[in-house]
Structure 1
């Protein structure tokens, strides 16, 4: 499972190494980019939200979960990890990464006048993956 797959970079690499990949992202533009990148590979790409139940996935249906730099966009992590636990087979592995919060705090657009420990919402058009630039 590539949870929050973005443009499908990790999904494509895993499929090229022999994995059958279920991938999803909340941003329609990223879903389309992932589908294009993974065309012809054993990758199923869907639109889904890490903050909501992964209802299209059966319990105990995946043996690996990768979630690269997507959890930063989830306000309440406990339900997300509960869903990961539900869809994971016994002995499954979870590999995830998050940005260091200092990176966002240094940016005055996200911090404003708030302290390091306050939670904020911030959006931008995400570049680097071509047009259209999706809003995240």
Structure 2
């Protein structure tokens, strides 16, 4: 049973770095939260997403802001290049080294445009007042520096 008024949705999982195992023109939209930075080649990714989206479809995704990535990854060398970087997560008990790909803003937007998408909206979120109350020290940092980037792209009908 689902909540009254809630839309029905299927959630699917796939390897974003390879050909997506779905037929063409079957999805209305794609949402990705903080996952694309694990994919090396965004040109292929966006061509695959265009293939599986219906005409008029949309794609919304969030990533760490490219400036934040460059500032926070110790192994980042050149903002203007795509670079393989890594960070250590220790919040799950054991330390785990997690690789990712850091890239400049243009390298985030251009592959989607080249795949036929149109940029509809770009948002650089700022922290809320609730966040200020919960973590004042981190709030001050994030209120003056970009941390996340949210983008919405559309396909022509």
TM-score (structure 1 length as normaliser):
0.56
| Higher strand proportion | 2
Q: Which has the higher contact order (CA 8 A, sep 6+)?
A: 2
2:83 alignment partner, one of 101, 120, 126: 120
Larger Rg: 2
Kept in 2, the 8 Å contact 1:65–1:93? The answer is yes
Matched, 1:53 2:29: no
Shift of 1:83: 0.8
Q: How does 1:1-136 map to 2 (within 5 A)?
A: 17-24=6-13, 48-55=14-21, 57-111=22-76, 114-126=77-89, 135-136=98-99
How many angstroms apart in 1 are the aligned matches of 2:6 and 2:95? 29
SS in 2 for 1:91: strand
SS in 2 for 1:121: strand
Kept in 2, the 8 Å contact 1:104–1:110? The answer is no
TM-score (structure 2 length as normaliser):
0.49
Kept in 2, the 8 Å contact 1:62–1:89? The answer is yes
> Between Structure 1 and Structure 2, how many residues are aligned?
94
Q: Pairwise CA RMSD of aligned residues?
A: 2.7
Please list the CA deviations of residues 44-95 of structure 1 after superposition, one character each: whole Å capped at 9, or x if unmatched. xxxx32111112x121111111122222222221111111111111222211
Kept in 1, the 8 Å contact 2:31–2:60? The answer is yes
